[in-house]
Amino acid sequence: MTAPAGEQPQKTPEDWRRVHPLSPLLRMWAALVGVAVLLLAQNADTLGNLRDWIGEAGVPTGLLVLVAVGVVAGVLLLGWLLSLPWWWATGFRVTDEEIAVRRGVLSRQLRTARFDRVQAVDLVEPLPARPFRLAGVKVETAGGRGSEVTVEYLTRSDAEELRVRLLDLVGAESAESADPAAPAEPAGEARPDRRIFIPEIPVTRSLVAAALSGSTAWAVVSLVLSLSTPAGLALLLPALAGLLPWFWSVLNRSWRYTATLSGPTDDRLLGITFGFSERRRQSVPLHRIHAVRISQPVLWRILGWWRVDVGVAGYGEQKATGSTTAVLPVGDLAQALRVLAVLGPLSWEETTRYADPVRPTTPTYGSPRAARWVSPLDRQCQGVTLVGERRHAVICRHGRVGRRLEVIAPGHIQELSWYRGPVGRLLGLADVRLDLVPGPVRMRARQLTVADASALLDELRARTLPPPDRANAGQ
C-alpha cells in the first residue's frame, strides 16, 4: 500500500528475534556455580564418607570419572530444560528509532534504547560464552548507571552483524539530528576500511604495567609490616583482599589491547578491543571525546611508559559496566603524543611544542614563588597553557614525581569555578576549576596568583560554546 502524497511512509519494525538457547544458562552461570559450591560445602562430611567407601570398595578410577562426567552432564541438561521457558520469553527487536529487549516469565521486563540517546555499542564475550563462540551486544545510553540495554547471547557472527547494524543506525540518527538537510551517504561509503591506530599491546607489558602501578608500593609496605610485626597476618590478608581485585581489573582492561580508526574524516569512530576474562569490542565516536589526559605513575618512569585516558560525553568512568575510558592503557611517550594529537584539539606540531609532558614550555599562567609553601616539589611543574590566538585549547599540567597533563577545547568546558581557601588567602593564591563531563579527566589550574586566576577565568568565560544540538548530543 502506497502512502498518500505528502505523508511519510509508516516505519514497520522487524519481528521479535530470539537469542541463543544457551543464553539463560550463561546469564546465570555465576549463581549456578555459587549454589554448587554451597552444596558441596554443606555436604563435605557426606562426600568424605563416600570417598572412603569408594576407596574401600576398589571402584576403578575410570568408572568414577565417567560417572562424574555423566552427573555433571545430566545436571546441565536438566538446567537447560528448566531454562527453556525463559529462553522462549527472551527476544529483541530493532526498529528505525530504537532497539528493544524483552525477557522474563513470571515478571516481564522490556528495555528500550533510542538511537539518538546511544553513547556506544559494544561487543562483549564473557569467559563462559567464549567456548560456545557466543557473544552479547551491549548498548550504552545517556541515562546514568544501569541504563544500558544488552542482547545476550548470539552467535559471534550474528552479534557482530547486529553491532554493525546498530552502529549504522546510530550514525544515521546522529547525522539527521546534526543536519537534517544533509544528503545521506551512499551505501558502502559510510564506514571505510579500518586502520590500526594502536597495535596490540604485548601481554608481558600489560603484566609488568599492572605490577608497577601505584598499589604495588602499598602491597610491598603491607608485606614488610606483615613479616615484621606480630599482627602481620591480620594486616596482610586485608591488603591482599583489596589488591588482587584491583590488579585483576587493571590487567583485564589492558590484556591484548588494540585500537582502530574508521569512518569519514569528520565523523571517525575509535574501535577498542581488549579483555582477558571478558573480551570486549568498544566503539567511541571521536566527536564525543571532550578531554584527554596523559599520565605517568611513579614506578612507570623506570620504563618510560605512559597512559592516556579520555572523558567522553555521557559515558562517565564506566567502572561498573566493564567498558574502559583508557584509550592507551600503557605505551611509550611517542604513542601517547600521537594519541593526544588525534583525539585532542591540538595539531601534531602544537602537541609536540606545548603538550610534551617531559619537556614543558613556559605556561601562560604558572604558580608564583609563594606556592612553594604548599607545593614544594610541584610548583615549577604546574601551570596552564592557552594555545593559539583564539585559545582553541587549554592545557593543564602538574606533578614532578607522578606526571599528569590534561587537554581540552574550551567549548567543552561545562562550568568554571574560582576557589580560594584559607591557605590561599594567606599566601595570595587561588585555583580555577574546570568542570567537565563526568569521567576520569579532571582539570584544575592550581595555585595561581589572584590576578592570574581572575585573568584566566575571564578568558575562559569568553569561550565559544558548541551549537545546542551538537552539545546536547553527548548528554
The secondary structure of the chain, three-state, reads CCCCCCCCCCCCCCCCEECCCCHHHHHCHHHHHHHHHHHHHHCHHHHHHHHHHHHHHCCCHHHHHHHHHHHHHHHHHHHHHHHHHHHHHCEEEECCCEEEEEECCCCCEEEEEEHHHEEEEEEEEECCCHHHCEEEEEEEECCCCCCCEEEEEEEHHHHHHHHHHHHHHHHHHHHHHHCCCCCCCCCCCCCCCCEEEECCCCHHHHHHHHHCCCHHHHHHHHHHHHHHCCCHHHHHHHHHHHHHHHHHHHHHCCCCCEEEEECCHHHCEEEEEECCCEEEEEEEEHHHEEEEEEEECHHHHHCCCEEEEEEECCCCCCCCCCCCCEEEEEECHHHHHHHHHHHCCCCHHHHHHHCCCCCCCCCCEECCHHHHHCCCCCHHHCEEEEECCCCCEEEEEECCCCEEEEEECHHHCCEEEEECCHHHHHHCEEEEEEECCCCCCCEEEEEEEHHHHHHHHHHHHCCCCCCHHHHHHCC
Over the Cα atoms of the chain, what is R_g?
Answer: 27
Q: What mean pLDDT, rounded, does the chain reach? A: 78
Q: pLDDT tier at 396 (50, 70, 90 boundaries)? A: very high
Domain that holds residue 418: 289-473
| Residue found under cell 585559545 | 391
Residue 308's pLDDT is 94
Residue 1's pLDDT is 43
56 within some domain: yes
Residue 295's pLDDT is 93
Kindly state whether residues 58 and 106 are assigned to the same domain: yes
Residue 141's pLDDT is 79
Q: pLDDT tier at 38 (50, 70, 90 boundaries)? A: low
Residue 429's pLDDT is 93
Kindly state whether residues 173 and 24 are assigned to the same domain: yes
Residue 180's pLDDT is 36
421 within some domain: yes
Domain count within the chain: 3
Taking the C-alpha atoms of residue 77 and residue 176, their distance in angstroms, rounded to an integer, is: 49
91 within some domain: yes
Kindly state whether residues 432 and 322 are assigned to the same domain: yes
| Percent of the chain whose predicted confidence (pLDDT) is above 90 | 24
Per-residue pLDDT at 98 exceeds 60: yes
Kindly state whether residues 423 and 299 are assigned to the same domain: yes
Kindly state whether residues 224 and 310 are assigned to the same domain: no
271 within some domain: no
**Residue 148 sits in a domain of what CATH number?**
2.30.29.30
- Which range among 50-54, 140-144, 191-195, 308-312 shows the weakest confidence by mean pLDDT? 191-195
Reported as a single tens digit per residue, the pLDDT across 276-317 is 878 888 888 888 899 999 999 888 888 999 999 999 876 765
Average pLDDT over residues 35-58: 64
Average pLDDT over residues 106-110: 83
Residue 404's pLDDT is 93
Q: Which residue has the higher pLDDT, 378 or 248?
A: 378
Kindly state whether residues 466 and 349 are assigned to the same domain: yes
Return all residues near 143 (Cβ < 8 A) that are at least 6 apart: 117
Residue 149's pLDDT is 86
Per-residue pLDDT at 184 exceeds 60: no
Q: Which residue has the higher pLDDT, 210 or 380?
A: 380
262 within some domain: no
379 within some domain: yes
Q: pLDDT tier at 214 (50, 70, 90 boundaries)? A: low
Kindly state whether residues 35 and 141 are assigned to the same domain: yes
- Beta-bridged to residue 120, according to DSSP, are 140
Q: pLDDT tier at 178 (50, 70, 90 boundaries)? A: very low
This prediction has a pTM of 0.75
Per-residue pLDDT at 321 exceeds 70: no
Kindly state whether residues 213 and 164 are assigned to the same domain: no
Kindly state whether residues 439 and 367 are assigned to the same domain: yes
Residue 219's pLDDT is 65
Return all residues near 37 (Cβ < 8 A) that are at least 6 apart: none
Per-residue pLDDT at 175 exceeds 90: no
Taking the C-alpha atoms of residue 5 and residue 120, their distance in angstroms, rounded to an integer, is: 37
Reported as a single tens digit per residue, the pLDDT across 5-34 is 444 444 445 688 888 888 887 777 655 665
Phi, psi values for residue 419, rounded to 5°:
-135, 140
Residue 475's pLDDT is 47
Phi, psi values for residue 417, rounded to 5°:
-130, 130
Residue 445's pLDDT is 92
Average pLDDT over residues 64-84: 73
Q: pLDDT tier at 462 (50, 70, 90 boundaries)? A: confident
Burial group, residue 151, by CB count within 10 angstroms (0-12, 13-18, 19+): buried
Reported as a single tens digit per residue, the pLDDT across 325-345 is 889 999 999 999 999 999 999
- Beta-bridged to residue 396, according to DSSP, are 384, 406
Per-residue pLDDT at 346 exceeds 90: yes
- Which range among 213-217, 257-261, 319-323, 382-386 shows the weakest confidence by mean pLDDT? 319-323
Kindly state whether residues 167 and 294 are assigned to the same domain: no
Contact between 365 and 455 under an 8 Å Cβ cutoff? The reply is yes
Which among 178, 210, 228 is the end of a domain?
178
Average pLDDT over residues 204-212: 83
Residue 185's pLDDT is 37
Return all residues near 124 (Cβ < 8 A) that are at least 6 apart: 135, 136, 137, 138, 150, 278, 279, 280, 281, 322
189 within some domain: no
Residue 188's pLDDT is 36
Maximum CA pair distance of the chain?
Answer: 90
Average pLDDT over residues 357-371: 89
Kindly state whether residues 93 and 153 are assigned to the same domain: yes
Reported as a single tens digit per residue, the pLDDT across 300-311 is 888 999 999 999
Taking the C-alpha atoms of residue 452 and residue 430, their distance in angstroms, rounded to an integer, is: 9
| Percent of the chain whose predicted confidence (pLDDT) is above 70 | 70
Peptide bond into 257 cis (omega under 30): no
406 within some domain: yes
CA 434, 435, 440, 446 dihedral sign is positive
| Residue found under cell 589488591 | 243
Average pLDDT over residues 109-137: 86
Per-residue pLDDT at 229 exceeds 70: no
Residue 407's pLDDT is 96
Per-residue pLDDT at 466 exceeds 60: yes
Kindly state whether residues 155 and 30 are assigned to the same domain: yes
